[in-house]
Amino acid sequence: MNLFVTGGCGFIGANFVRYVLQREPACRVCNLDKLTYAGNPANLAGIEKNAPGRYRFVHGDIGDARLVSALFAEQSFDAVINFAAESHVDRSIADPAPFIVTNVLGTQALLSAAHAAGIPRFVHISTDEVYGSLGPEDPAFTENAPLAPNSPYSASKAGADLLVRAFHETYGMNTVITRCSNNYGPYQFPEKLIPFMLRRAGRDESLPVYGDGGNIRDWIHVEDHCLGVYLALTKGRSGAIYNFGGHAERTNMEVVDTLLNMLGKSRRLIRFVTDRPGHDRRYAMDYALAEKELAYAPQWDFSQGLAATAAWYAQNTAWLDGVESGAYRDFMQAWYGDGLKD
């Protein structure tokens, strides 16, 4: 199996590259990544040694039609798996433009090139955020829930999803869309809640929490997400959409309190800050369709997964030091302001 993976140096993409190379001994992966702030080659350190001759990295943009078409002409691929995306909601609020360029226009360029090359399958990685927000008593999102994105990020992902659907309906492309809940685990960029709080609590720095901390997310360990993507790749129906979740709804405050208890830190580190504009209150994923058609079931218990994640970050401080660039610190200070002051 020869796979063309985009965004494979990002958090989820890198975990998937590791997962599929380990699970499929004959699999070969070509990874195209633009290496923006969240794309880190260190996420795949040692991969060439562990899978000799089976991994190739190409530095480039999915929106570069000439480059992508040339890569498709060089080698025959069994599938494209599109992880490439601008994904941080706060950054999309500060500047929506890069999200439209990469998530919408980039996906269109990748779809067009894959269609022209006759790639047998196109798997597009999306998010639960395209569905919008749930009320406290609402049932979890199913794949038939209407799209109601509330941030520039989620709107750009919804646009990409609709393009994938259109290429299936118009051109007969063999496509699958996956939508998952909030990921956590190794190699996650420290702007995201769990590594962000772990890092700052470990240094006894203030922990900015949006609003009242009552926003609810359904957490999925990144390895469970990789399992879902693999099953969608190998078993999914053409044209299908599959939700993946971790059966682990928690408020942000519950997550932060758990991390503080785990690290033996005081709640006095918490600083409540002005809520994010358009902040969705609750996400929850119904993954019954994936259970039925793909035999998907999450393997990680949230408590165990969170402990394993905390241990990984504690053992990989050099990796964290490497990704916390000046540009990263400047953005976080500008965004959270006084919430980062001790």
SS (H, E, C) 117-172: HCCCCEEEEEEHHHHCCCCCCCCCECCCCCCCCCCHHHHHHHHHHHHHHHHHHHHC
Whole-angstrom distance, CA of residue 153 vs CA of residue 95? 10
CA neighbours within 13 Å on the CB side: how many for 200? 25
Q: Quote the Cα angle for 192-197-199, to 5°.
A: 100
Among the listed residues 129, 161, 191, 218, the single catalytic one is 129
Extract the tokens encoding 169: 């309906």
128 given a catalytic annotation: yes
Whole-angstrom distance, CA of residue 150 vs CA of residue 156? 10
β-pairing, 182-184 with 216-221? parallel
129 given a catalytic annotation: yes
Contacts with 155 (C-beta within 8 Å, 6 or more apart), sequence order: 149
Among the listed residues 55, 131, 153, 296, the single catalytic one is 153
Whole-angstrom distance, CA of residue 248 vs CA of residue 299? 12
Among the listed residues 61, 86, 128, 280, the single catalytic one is 128
Active site residues: 128-129, 153
